[in-house]
Amino acid sequence: MRRGTGFGIAIAGVLAATATAVALPAAAQEKLKIGFITTLSGPQGVIGKHMKDSLDLAMEHLGGKVGGLETEVVIGDDQQKPDVGLDVANKMLKSDRVQFVTGVIWSNVLMAIVGPVTRETFLLSSNAGPSPLAGKECHENFFAVSWQNDQTPEAMGKYMSEAGVSDVYAIAPNYQAGKDMLTGFKRTFKGKVVEEMYVKLGQQDYQTELTQVRAANPKAVFVFLPGGMGINFLKQYEQAGLRQQFPLYNVYTTDGTTLPAVKEAALGVRSTQTWVATLANPVNRRYVEDFRKKFNYIPSFYGAQTYDTFMLLDAALKKAGGKISDKKAIREALRTVEAPNTRGSLKFNTNHFPIQNFYLQEVVQDTEGNFTLQVKGVVFSAHGDAYAKDCKMAP
Amino acid sequence: MIGDRRRLDWTLLVLFAGVPGAALALDEPYLLDLFARVLIFAIAAVSLDLILGYGGLVSFGHAAFLGIGGYAVGMLYQHDLGSGFLQFPVAVLVSGVAALAIGWVSLRTGGLYFIMITLAFAQMLYYLGISLKVYGGDDGMRARRSEFFAPIDLNDQTQFYYLALAVLALSLWLGRRLVNSRFGLALQGARSNERRLRVLGVPVFRYRLTAFVIAGALCGLAGALFANLNEYASPSTMHWTRSGELIVMVILGGVGTLTGPVLGALAFVLLESYLSEALEALASGFGQHWQVVFGPLLVAVALFARGGLVGLLRPGRGE
Amino acid sequence: MVQTFNGLQLGVMLFLMAAGLTLVLGIMDFVNLAHGSLLMVGAYVASTITGWTGSFLLGLAAALPAAFLAGVLLEVAVLRHFYDRGHLEQVLATFGLILFFNEAVRLIWGPAALFFDPPSALRGQVEILPGAPYPAFRLAIIVVGLAVALALYLVIARTRVGMRIRAGASNRDIAQALGLDIGRLFAVVFGAGAALAGLAGVILGPITNVEPGMGDPVLILAFVVIIIGGIGSVRGAFAAALLVGLVDTLGRAFLPILLRLVLNPSNADAAGPALASMLIYLLMAAILFFRPHGLFPARTG
């Protein structure tokens, strides 16, 4: 009996400690709280670092106040797992009581949290933009400040058609975003796709696929292999001597997070993107210069989109008169406000996905020896996505 | 000894039952989510303890059943079959059948081979989940809470929590009955001396298979609850690291005690949730590196806490 | 045909990992999940040294002793205390070590992936068949892997140390009763296994990126190899490594194409890659079903 009681006290202690641990942050109210979900631990933590650094810079530029309000940003690590992301989101909503949830790199994490978050409050994706949320499952509280998955490859498809490229071998990972990317590519690409190869998500060695590419003897290769997958692929593409033989085009593969590792193996490779570090608009110049000064590396699109998310929030809250509780006014403001952004153009479509420019970019080596991306032209201006017509949201 | 453990069980259950009240009093609804997770993992860990602790069968693929249960709920919901009266039995049945098939093959091997073959099956199911494009592939699929008749409404987080608690209580009761039955004693006997039991005419293979199926079905039930909690089912639930985490919970709490895994799940979930915050408070920016501390902690548990947390709380119990 | 070479290359890669692991398992009955971390240590050290000096060979020369030392240190500091424990505690402890190593590497080197080049002499292509060029570095991997396998075979089959290892692997109790110093033998085997894992890391570095957790997928495959080959059998590990390498590579290359013959293309495209990933696990389950102790069981008692 005594043991039982002692044990009970121990458990009660744990419970009480937990309760106070969670209870403390909730004590102070009446200020703006923003949840920011990203991936900090694990192999993809480098993307999270790019995003978090940009968030810090945005807060510095805003003087620590978003929309003129006292602001606290709660950062959560989803470990790239949907159920962990969901727990993080729940904790933000119910314990920290954030009024906005932002960030989110991965479409599977986004799909897991979108229901519970939009039921309570606003969700602003700084990266993932899966097709279901742009069409049938769109929601008035969900905004993609990034893009819709299909759009960027659509731009690539258009550019390649115009350049007269045909007989393309396409490679993407076997998951929703990978399929969205190839769907988008085929929507605008007029030439022939000789083969669509889906690889395992997170695959490291591509020698098997590269051998298949050589055997198929295409005129060009198009890939979507984000993060570490891209680093591996680009290195091996170079090692296999394919770069000279088959010109490589991509989306989300040569970017600010992968180029420092890939270096010259990606020189001259072309891709499309909504943002490039060398875009000459004043907001972007300030962002890139201050970022490089503060963190000593070149930012990536993940970071720029994070920065834009916070600039949008700031502008929308100011327009709505700083009243956090007025959801309707804030929604209207998010939809219509002209916020400063790093991309040169950004407006929301009826489904709360952006209408924006898509640029062609190329990997170059700058004067300091860094490998980075340079704008080569505009492929689409003010381009919307293909799913907006399926979205039945009251305007 | 047995009475002592029962008392522990009851203490735990009563304390768990107090969580919704505490959450309300503290105005902290998140506690309900957190502890619902604890309860669900506790059920899964208890089911694993049945085969791991009492049968000596180290399954490194137990999360597969968590996934199967979840997929049963998710897939039925995708076909507009949202009734809990359908979803829960199907989840239990399908995981039981899967356990029968997996066990029938795996139990022919032993020791390390068994560890690896169960892992292999879990990996197969994981990749199968990814290949099911209609059901979201790698992205998983959304589901809603299962529907029952009024006044039962699982959308009410408190009701859902008590359902999970009831299932945990039931699993503990069932587990105790099982391990103290002749069947359970034979199972434990086979762990230490398989040959002798064979000689005595005990059908060891059939007993183990039965235990494996019960454990799989119970874990499938936990999986159905997990999909309900998350309103979401995905292959990531079946990833091998999740199976590893279940093993960690069982060992952390105390192998072969049934109560231990419940404590293990509690400790694991709380550590996962709060260790990074605690470290962040100690040194800014260090929170994301919580695994540097968590890893050695596991080593220490393996090294010093022979009986797990249960052993620490009740030092009289040696191995 | 070229795909066969790819399979061979993956196979010898896996063999380097599996050889050390299978002996540790066979002799000491010890499950070391942290073996993949030693691969990571090798890759990181090689990458750092190569980055400083610009010489791949110096990187290699530094990485092998580093992995060896890390292995011995790990053995003395932690693993040694777990020999008389059950598999369960070993799994728990080494699972904890994986978490520790992955995060420690992130603390020291940062989260970004590192990258280093193969030696300049091996950067080109070699024509293995008319019209089928093959990366020289990958060809070198196959050669090195086969050489290591041959050397291991000679050591184990022809030397005194090898005889002891065989004795220890087939029946530990009897070997010990005959006066074999199992403790010392094990330290040697563990260090050698760690160095082989380090070698695997150095080889893997220029192909894939050097990042936290890079050893874990390889580790799982290496375990599959060991189980298929039979615990404690280097010969089995070699055969199984080649088998797994070939099945995985050929499956990935040709299964989607085969599936298109029976399914409609969109379903085949979705199912093909996933089924290809399942293939080696299917192979393992099938082999264990017919031979519960692997292809070449080493243990007799």
CATH number, domain of A67, equals 3.40.50.2300
DSSP single-letter state for residue B52: I
Chain B hits for C224, CB-CB cut-off 8 Å, are 116, 120
Q: Which chains touch B (3 or more CB pairs under 8 A)?
A: A, C
pLDDT bucket at A319, cuts 50 / 70 / 90: very high
Inter-chain contact C207–A232, Cβ cutoff 8 Å?
yes
Residues 12-71 of C with CB under 8 A from B: 25, 31
DSSP alpha helix (H) spans, B79-232: 84-106, 111-131, 157-180, 182-192, 194-199, 204-230
What domain count does chain A have? Answer: 2
In which residue are the tokens 């209408």 written?
A355
What's the rounded Cα separation, in Å, for the pair A269 and C207? 19
Whether A380 is in a domain gets the answer no
Question: A207 and A320 share a domain?
Answer: no
Q: Please give the backbone phi and psi of residue A258, each rounded to the nearest 5 degrees, phi first.
A: -100, -30
Contacts of B296 (CB under 8 A, 6+ apart): C96, C100
Question: A137 and A161 share a domain?
Answer: no
Question: A160 and A248 share a domain?
Answer: yes
Q: How far is CA B108 from the centre of its chain?
A: 24
Chain C hits for A196, CB-CB cut-off 8 Å, are 269
Chain B hits for C230, CB-CB cut-off 8 Å, are none
Give the one of B117, B248, B296 whose C-beta lies nearest to C285's C-beta: B117
Inter-chain contact A43–C211, Cβ cutoff 8 Å?
yes
What's the rounded Cα separation, in Å, for the pair B219 and C16? 37
CB count in 10 Å sphere of residue B202: 19
Question: For a pLDDT cut of 90, what percent of chain C falls above it?
Answer: 22
Q: Which residue of C has its CA nearest to A202?
A: C217
pLDDT bucket at C116, cuts 50 / 70 / 90: confident
pLDDT of A212 higher than 60 = yes
Looking at domain B2-313, its CATH class is mainly alpha
User: Do residues B225 and B162 touch, judged by C-beta distance below 8 A?
Assistant: no
Estimate the crossing angle of helix B84-106 against helix C265-290, to 10 degrees: 50
Nearest to A250 by CA among A268, A277, A275: A268
Burial (Cβ within 10 Å: 0-12, 13-18, ≥19) of residue A194: middle
Q: What is the mean pLDDT of chain A?
A: 89
Chain C hits for A45, CB-CB cut-off 8 Å, are 106, 111, 212
Nearest to B236 by CA among B67, B65, B41: B67
Q: How near does any CA of chain C get to the CA of B107, in Å?
A: 9
Inter-chain contact A42–C6, Cβ cutoff 8 Å?
no
Give the one of B11, B29, B277 whose C-beta lies nearest to A4's C-beta: B11
Whether A42 is in a domain gets the answer yes
pLDDT of A107 higher than 60 = yes
pLDDT of C270 higher than 90 = no
pLDDT of C298 higher than 70 = no
Q: How far is CA A25 from the centre of its chain?
A: 29
Q: Does C78 touch chain B (CB under 8 A)?
A: yes
What's the rounded Cα separation, in Å, for the pair A263 and A255? 11
Whether A26 is in a domain gets the answer no
- Average pLDDT rounded to a whole number, residues A56-68: 95
Question: A256 and A328 share a domain?
Answer: no
Question: For a pLDDT cut of 70, what percent of chain C falls above it?
Answer: 96
Question: A322 and A235 share a domain?
Answer: no
Kind of pairing between the strands at A69-77 and A347-348:
unpaired
Whether A1 is in a domain gets the answer no
Inter-chain contact C6–A200, Cβ cutoff 8 Å?
no
pLDDT of C91 higher than 80 = yes
What's the rounded Cα separation, in Å, for the pair C58 and C92? 36
Q: What is the pLDDT of residues B2-17, one digit of tens each?
A: 567 778 888 899 999 9
Q: What is the pLDDT of residues B120-144, one digit of tens each?
A: 899 899 988 887 878 877 778 888 8
Q: Residue A141 sits in which domain range? A: 31-147+280-356
Q: How near does any CA of chain C get to the CA of A12, in Å?
A: 28
Kind of pairing between the strands at A354-365 and A270-273:
antiparallel
Report angle CA B148, B152, B157 to the nearest 5 degrees: 110
Whether A362 is in a domain gets the answer no
Low-confidence ranges of chain B (pLDDT < 50): 316-319
Buried b (16+ CB within 10 A) or exposed e, C43-76: bbbbbbbbeeeeebeebbebbbebbbbbbbebbe
Chain C hits for A48, CB-CB cut-off 8 Å, are 111
Q: Which residue of C has its CA nearest to B241?
A: C95
Which residues, listed in sequence order, are joined to residue B142 by a DSSP beta bridge?
Answer: B232
**Contact residues of A toward B, CB < 8 A:** 1, 3-4, 6-8, 10-12, 14-15, 18-19, 21-23, 26, 40-41, 45, 77, 81-83, 86-87, 90-91, 93-95, 107-108, 111-112, 115-116, 130, 174-176, 179, 201
User: Do residues B192 and B134 touch, judged by C-beta distance below 8 A?
Assistant: no
Nearest to B133 by CA among C275, A389, A84: C275
Which residues, listed in sequence order, are joined to residue C129 by a DSSP beta bridge?
Answer: C132
CB count in 10 Å sphere of residue A19: 17
Look at residue A27 in the predicted model and tell me its pLDDT: 40
Chain B hits for A94, CB-CB cut-off 8 Å, are 28-30, 33
Q: Which chains touch A (3 or more CB pairs under 8 A)?
A: B, C
Whether A8 is in a domain gets the answer no
Look at residue B319 in the predicted model and tell me its pLDDT: 39
Q: Which chains touch C (3 or more CB pairs under 8 A)?
A: A, B
Question: A109 and A174 share a domain?
Answer: no
Question: A158 and A260 share a domain?
Answer: yes
Contacts of A302 (CB under 8 A, 6+ apart): A47, A50, A51, A54, A105, A126, A127, A255, A256, A257
What's the rounded Cα separation, in Å, for the pair C202 and C56? 9
Chain B hits for A111, CB-CB cut-off 8 Å, are 136, 139-140, 142, 232
Give the one of B244, B297, B302 whose C-beta lies nearest to C89's C-beta: B302
Pairs of CB atoms within 8 A across B/C: 136
CB under 8 A, 24+ apart: contacts of C162-166: C165/C23, C165/C27, C165/C189
Question: A266 and A157 share a domain?
Answer: yes
In which residue are the tokens 């119910």 written?
A94
Inter-chain contact A4–B142, Cβ cutoff 8 Å?
no
Whether A322 is in a domain gets the answer yes
In which residue are the tokens 């003129």 written?
A68
Q: What share of chain A is helix, strand, coil (3-state, %, to 5)?
A: 45, 20, 35
Q: How near does any CA of chain C get to the CA of B22, in Å?
A: 33
Bigger pLDDT: A312 vs A7: A312
Give the one of B11, B37, B232 whose C-beta lies nearest to A8's C-beta: B11
Tokens of C105: 């590497």
Chain B hits for C103, CB-CB cut-off 8 Å, are 289-292, 295
Q: Which residue of A has its CA nearest to C248?
A: A208
Give the 3-state secondary structure of chain A: CHHHHHHHHHHHHHHHHHHHHHHHHHCCCCCEEEEEEECCCCCCHHHHHHHHHHHHHHHHHCCCEECCEEEEEEEEECCCCHHHHHHHHHHHHHHHCCCEEEECCCHHHHHHHHHHHHHHCEEEECCCCCHHHHCCCCCCCEEECCCCCCHHHHHHHHHHHHCCCCCEEEEEECCHHHHHHHHHHHHHCCCCEEEEEEECCCCCCCHHHHHHHHHHCCCEEEECCCCHHHHHHHHHHHHCCHHHHCCEEEECCCCCCCHHHHHHHHCCCEEEECCCCCCCCHHHHHHHHHHHHHHCCCCCHHHHHHHHHHHHHHHHHHHCCCCCCCHHHHHHHHHHCCCCCCCCCCEECCCCCEEEEEEEEEEEECCCCCEEEEEEEEEEEEECCCCHHHCCCCC
Inter-chain contact C275–B127, Cβ cutoff 8 Å?
yes
Q: What is the mean pLDDT of chain C?
A: 85
Question: A139 and A286 share a domain?
Answer: yes
Question: For a pLDDT cut of 70, what percent of chain A falls above it?
Answer: 92
Identity of the highest mean pLDDT range in A359-363, C148-152, C250-254:
A359-363
Q: How near does any CA of chain A get to the CA of B106, in Å?
A: 26
pLDDT bucket at C144, cuts 50 / 70 / 90: very high
pLDDT bucket at A28, cuts 50 / 70 / 90: very low
Give the one of C25, C92, C100 whose C-beta lies nearest to B301's C-beta: C92
Look at residue A12 in the predicted model and tell me its pLDDT: 55
Q: Which residue of C has its CA nearest to A204?
A: C208
Domain edge (last residue) among A273, A305, A325: A273
Question: A284 and A269 share a domain?
Answer: no
Nearest to C20 by CA among C193, C229, C222, C201: C193
- The amino acid at C58: L
Chain A hits for C114, CB-CB cut-off 8 Å, are 261
- Left if phi > 0, otherwise alpha if psi is -120 to 50, otherwise beta: which for A68? left
Q: What is the pLDDT of residues C145-203, one digit of tens each?
A: 999 999 988 988 888 888 887 777 777 777 777 777 777 777 888 888 899 999 999 98
Tokens of C176: 């010990």
The HSE-up count of residue A145 (CA atoms within 13 Å, CB side) is: 32
Nearest to A322 by CA among A123, A35, A68: A68
Question: A203 and A261 share a domain?
Answer: yes
Q: Using DSSP, state whether A377 is helix, strand or coil.
A: strand
The HSE-up count of residue B110 (CA atoms within 13 Å, CB side) is: 9
Kind of pairing between the strands at A270-273 and A142-144:
unpaired
Inter-chain contact A86–B266, Cβ cutoff 8 Å?
no
Look at residue A169 in the predicted model and tell me its pLDDT: 96
Inter-chain contact B124–C82, Cβ cutoff 8 Å?
no
Question: A252 and A352 share a domain?
Answer: no
**Cα–Cα separations (whole angstroms), residue B187 to B47, B55, B232, C201:** 15, 5, 36, 43
Whether A172 is in a domain gets the answer yes
Q: Which residue of C has its CA nearest to B242?
A: C95
